[in-house]
Amino acid sequence: MVTAVIATPDRGPVPTPLRGAAVVVLLQGVALVLLCAAYAGHVVTGRPANRALALSGAGLGLAAGLVVVLLARSLRRGRRLAGAPVLLTELLALPIGVGLLQSSLPLYGAAVVLPAAGVLLLLFGTRGGRTIFGS
Residue whose C-alpha is closest to residue 70's, from 62, 54, 105, 132: 62
CB 24 within 8 A of CB 89: no
Q: What single-letter DSSP state applies at residue 15?
A: P
User: Which residues does residue 7 pair with via DSSP β-bridges, in sequence order?
Assistant: 13
pTM for the predicted model, two decimal places = 0.85
The single-letter DSSP state of residue 13 is E
Residuewise pLDDT in 10s, the chain (135 residues): 555 555 545 567 888 889 999 999 999 999 999 999 999 999 999 888 899 999 999 999 999 999 999 999 999 998 888 889 999 999 999 999 999 999 989 999 999 999 999 999 999 888 878 788 776
Contact 97, 116 (CB under 8 A): yes
> How many CB atoms neighbour CB 127 within 10 A?
9
Q: How far is 91 from 106, CA to CA, in rounded Å? A: 19
